[in-house]
Amino acid sequence: MLTILRKIVESVSSADSLTLAMQNLVMKTKDALGVDCCSIYVRDMSSNLLQLLATDGLDQKAVGRIALGFDEGVVGLVARTLELINLADAANNPNFKFIPGYGEEQFHSFLGVPIVDQGILLGVLVIQQKNPRKFDEIDESFMVMLAAQLAGKFLEVKLKKEMAILGKSSSKTITGLPVSKGLAQAKAFVMRPPLLLENINIEKCEDPSIQSELFHQSMFQVQLELDHLMIKLSQSTSSNNSQIFEIYNMILNDQSFVEAIDEEIFKNGIMATSAVKVVCEKYISKFKTLKDDYLKERAADVKDIAQRLLSKLAHSQVEFYDFSKPVILVADEVTASMLVELPRSSLKGIISCKGSVNSHAAILARNMGLPAIIETSDTIDQFDDHYIVMDGTTGTIIIEPDNAIKEEYEQLIETENNLRQIAEQELYQTAITLDKQQIYVELNAGMNSELESKGNFVDGVGLYRTEIPFMLQDSVLTEQEQIKNYRDFLISFKDLPVCMRTLDIGGDKQLSYLKINEANPALGWRGVRLMLDNRPLFMSQLKAMLKANIGLGNLKIMVPMISSCKEIEDTRKLLDLAYKEVKEELDLTDEQLIYPQLGAMIEVPSAVMLLEDLSKITDFFSVGTNDLTQYLLAVDRNNSRVANCYDPYHPAILKTLDYIYKECTRLNKPVSICGEMAGDYLGILLLIAIGYRKFSMNLSNIAKIKYLLRRIDISKVKQIVDQSGLTNINAIRISMRNYINEQNLTNFVLNK
Ligand code: PEP
Ligand code: MG
């Protein structure tokens, strides 16, 4: 058998074309195993369909015509599970999908194996037999070994084919992890993080006067930034801080410091960044040699000034770029602040070489409705100045595509825009299902974008992530700044409930000015824990929220990462105190200062087990499925190595969500869902089947989800879930997809 196997593999690798190689493969495998049919399905990375590439047994007409989704047929089952499937009578399997006209009816037994390379499915190899019998272990091991050997060869042949195409054009295709759906094509704008002082190279420049101008602008900005910091610091503490900034002011106002940098730029013809390095390093070493300990320590201040100058100089990258044309943002690690820094109208997509599905940047991309791909395992340099097309559904990126591909993408983007426009026509309609039940669709907000504050297209705001504005700034927001933010937002959604979440910092949501170094950040000092330890910060936020709500009354407050009753009790005490202080400070009556509802996020397993106790001290619950998935499955939501284990449709999650709903109904406590699952078509349908009726989701999902909800029948959705049971997600997925198909909704929910 091993000799036969080797021969088959050799014939595949020596073939001149992929088609020929695959034809050889199916013919030789069929003969070697003495079966009636052998076929190979290859995954098309752009459509994510399994296309029949070669067959010896089925009608040849089927080649290139049969294309199966991962949730279609037994072949789809192999692709989904990445497991060998051996069936005596495939037609009796619930997954079986009969495609008439290609002669498949004559075959009963089925054996399919996945072809996988580095965890990525490339195709499925199938053998079939007319008489209904299970294939034996020898057949199984032959197929498994063949698939394993093919994975490498397969790639080689495919690559040869792609190289042939690449020979004619200069395009390059790479893949990454798709995290936000949609298509985009534009020039890449590669954004680099500010350089570290120690990593700067001394580089020559072409035009010293431009470099000098950039340097002077940066000086001015750093000065402004520091003035701002000083004012804030004096507002938040009573002590005299002027000493802290003594050296900063001294250096920034020191003419010889400025002249020294200018001299480096003009005399030596070097970049502004290089000149900053040369001069600042001289200052740093001078300070370090001083005898006075206090002054010695000031070397760190000089370093900070240098770093701030470098950051401003890197920022000029954005300032001087021509954003009149669309761009796709590429960065080693896209951050939330990068996303807001670029003009929204020109930003068409995001590529982050590092990252994870539920990192904040990915959530923000989905929030902004921008296609995003992460984990490209390539360096950013290869994107520099190149035109790219990207598909956020499959994770495909083509650098310098040829005209045919560009045109194809243009058409696809147009179709996508048309579908979005169709859905948006009903944006302001209520989400009432065919069987006349109302589903409450709320917004997840925090970006403070213009669109977010358009008000009445939703039934409220289920989650306002207050940490986002904190993440986008260089320092903590003052109480006044917070009041302004919150009040503007509450006014935009006047008459609708707005649920503001108290700061959820820590974990993956780090503030640049509050670095927390922990071995296990997700299990560390984050959310309510951090806030209860930082009472002034917590109090200033609670007071800002209460003040912002005066005369409006639509504020609700929600606390993240609750894992015990004590955390809610302590928060309640602070809220009571904040209420009392604001009332006294502004001389208000009980009627004038409304005491808001206080809710708990259910996202830590212990909170699930405490629902009854928590229900006595809270007014509502909101389930955060993103963290609940992370903590229930013990899978870091930001670790790409275990991304395949991060599964919100895991039976344990679905059963927990079912339990939470039942408990809340028994306790008569309002509950809603605000994790990413609510914005996914399968997620929301499943949750509706469980019983949930209130969901909060990203702006970009609202129109599509409302359009879907207005065209489904809850009794039918419930029937699908009840029939399969919550533990059989594959069966639910297939039946739900069929139902979506019947309702002509496939394009709206599956392809985008
Ligand atoms: C969640 O955990 O589901 C959630 C909504 O909060 P975040 O994603 O901001 O942690
Ligand atoms: Mg969370």
Dihedral class, residue 366 (left if φ above 0, else alpha if ψ from -120 to 50, else beta): alpha
Interatomic CA distance for residues 386 and 188, integer angstroms:
6
Give the residue whose CA is nearest to atom 3 of ligand 1: 624
Q: Answer whether residue 594 shows pLDDT above 90.
A: yes
What rounded mean pLDDT belongs to the chain?
86
Percent of the chain with pLDDT over 70: 89
Least confident piece of the model among 96-105, 161-170, 264-273, 388-397 = 161-170
Q: Model's pTM, two decimal places?
A: 0.65
The reported pLDDT for the residue numbered 234 is 62
304, 252 Cβ separation under 8 angstroms: no
Q: Which pLDDT tens digit goes with each residue over 89-109?
A: 888 888 888 777 788 888 889
Q: Which pLDDT tens digit goes with each residue over 481-527?
A: 999 999 999 999 999 999 999 999 988 777 877 778 888 989 999 99
How far, in Å, is the centroid of ligand 2 from the Cα of 626?
A: 6
The reported pLDDT for the residue numbered 164 is 44
CA angle, corner 441, sides to 435 and 443, nearest 5? Answer: 170
Ligand 1 atom index nearest CA of 622: 5
R_g (Cα) of the chain, nearest Å: 30
358, 626 Cβ separation under 8 angstroms: yes
Q: Which pLDDT tens digit goes with each residue over 13-32?
A: 776 667 777 888 899 999 98
Least confident piece of the model among 83-87, 400-404, 605-609, 666-670 = 400-404
Is the minimum distance from the CB of 674 to ligand 1 under 6 angstroms?
yes
Region 95-124: mean pLDDT is 83
Is the minimum distance from the CB of 359 to ligand 1 under 6 angstroms?
no
Region 343-367: mean pLDDT is 78
pLDDT bucket at 205, cuts 50 / 70 / 90 = confident
Q: Answer whether residue 157 shows pLDDT above 80.
A: no
Separation in Å, CA 659 to CA 606, 620, 623, 626, 722 = 13, 16, 12, 17, 15
Interatomic CA distance for residues 692 and 690, integer angstroms:
6
The two three-digit tokens of residue 60, written as one number: 């040849």
Separation in Å, CA 264 to CA 298, 359, 515, 599 = 23, 41, 34, 59
Which of 37, 38, 205, 360 is flagged as catalytic? 360
Residue scoring higher pLDDT (110 or 507): 110
Is the minimum distance from the CB of 506 to ligand 1 under 6 angstroms?
no
- Set out the domains of the chain in order of their start, with CATH numbers: 2-168 (3.30.450.40), 173-191+320-413 (3.50.30.10), 197-313 (1.10.274.10), 440-623 (3.20.20.60), 648-670+678-752 (no CATH)
Region 181-193: mean pLDDT is 86
Is the minimum distance from the CB of 675 to ligand 1 under 6 angstroms?
yes
Task: Clarify whether 674 is annotated catalytic.
Answer: yes
Q: Answer whether residue 576 shows pLDDT above 90.
A: yes
Task: Clarify whether 386 is annotated catalytic.
Answer: no
Q: At 682, which amino acid appears?
A: L
Q: Which pLDDT tens digit goes with each residue over 617-655?
A: 999 999 999 999 999 999 988 776 777 788 999 999 999
Ligand 1 atom index nearest CA of 675: 3
What's the DSSP call for residue 502?
P
Interatomic CA distance for residues 253 and 242, integer angstroms:
15
How far, in Å, is the centroid of ligand 1 from the Cα of 236?
A: 29
Q: Which pLDDT tens digit goes with each residue over 287-324?
A: 888 888 777 777 888 888 888 888 888 766 666 677 88
Interatomic CA distance for residues 425 and 111, integer angstroms:
47
* Terminal-to-terminal C-alpha distance of the chain: 46
The reported pLDDT for the residue numbered 44 is 76
Is the minimum distance from the CB of 626 to ligand 1 under 6 angstroms?
yes
The reported pLDDT for the residue numbered 238 is 45
Give the residue whose CA is nearest to atom 8 of ligand 1: 626
Burial of 506 (C-beta count, 10 Å sphere; 0-12/13-18/19+): buried
How far, in Å, is the centroid of ligand 2 from the Cα of 624?
A: 5
CA angle, corner 366, sides to 329 and 623, nearest 5? Answer: 145
Separation in Å, CA 454 to CA 212, 428, 458, 494, 497 = 43, 11, 9, 11, 14
Interatomic CA distance for residues 179 and 680, integer angstroms:
12
Q: 112-131 in b/e burial notation, b at 16+ Cβ within 10 A? A: bbbbbeeeebbbbbbbbbee
Spatial neighbors of 89 by CB under 8 A, at least 6 apart, are 108, 109, 132
186, 323 Cβ separation under 8 angstroms: no
Element (H, E) at 41: strand 37-44
Residue scoring higher pLDDT (219 or 356): 219
